[in-house]
Amino acid sequence: MGDEDTGLGTRLRRLLELLDDDLERVYAEITPGYRPRFTPVMKALRHGPLTIKAIAGMSGVSHSAASQTVSRMVADGWVAYQVGDDARERLIRFTDTGKAALPILEAQWARTDRAAQALEAEIAAPLSAVISAAIRALENRPFRDRIRL
């Protein structure tokens, strides 16, 4: 069965599988225990301790996704909670482990960006632009509305 015979969702999941599986392997080699899904949180925290709401906003993920990822990162020792200036506020900060891994991760993010650019150069259209355009289109008119027509 060719790509044309599979649904869009199936092909997108396959693309993510191909990208994520290899990325998982690379991270396992350089920073054991690190997961690609931690990257948006780690990048956001380079600006200093933040709330989950701020992390979600900076990373473009839902509050729930950010919260789940942060919980996993706390359990794995990459980040920790701290009390903010307002005692009701809970901030997320790097642990010593997270802080020590940052230079290694930043170098890996640069290599990953270069690999993504090389991939985009091989295909007919820049994948990042196509994905961004699809996200914008679906935010403007959800897929469910398109199905109902």
SS3 118: helix
Contact 108, 26 (CB under 8 A): yes
pTM above 0.95, yes or no: no
Q: How many domains does the chain have?
A: 1
Range of the domain at 72: 3-148
Residue 13's CATH number: 1.10.10.10
Q: Which residue has the higher pLDDT, 112 or 88?
A: 112
Could you list the beta-strand ranges (E) of 59-142: 79-83, 90-94
Whether 1 shows a pLDDT value over 60: the answer reads no
Amino acid 3: pLDDT: 65
* Digit-coded pLDDT (tens) for 107-145: 999 999 999 899 888 888 888 888 889 889 988 998 888
Mean pLDDT score across all residues of the chain: 91
* Digit-coded pLDDT (tens) for 38-65: 999 999 999 999 999 999 999 989 999 9
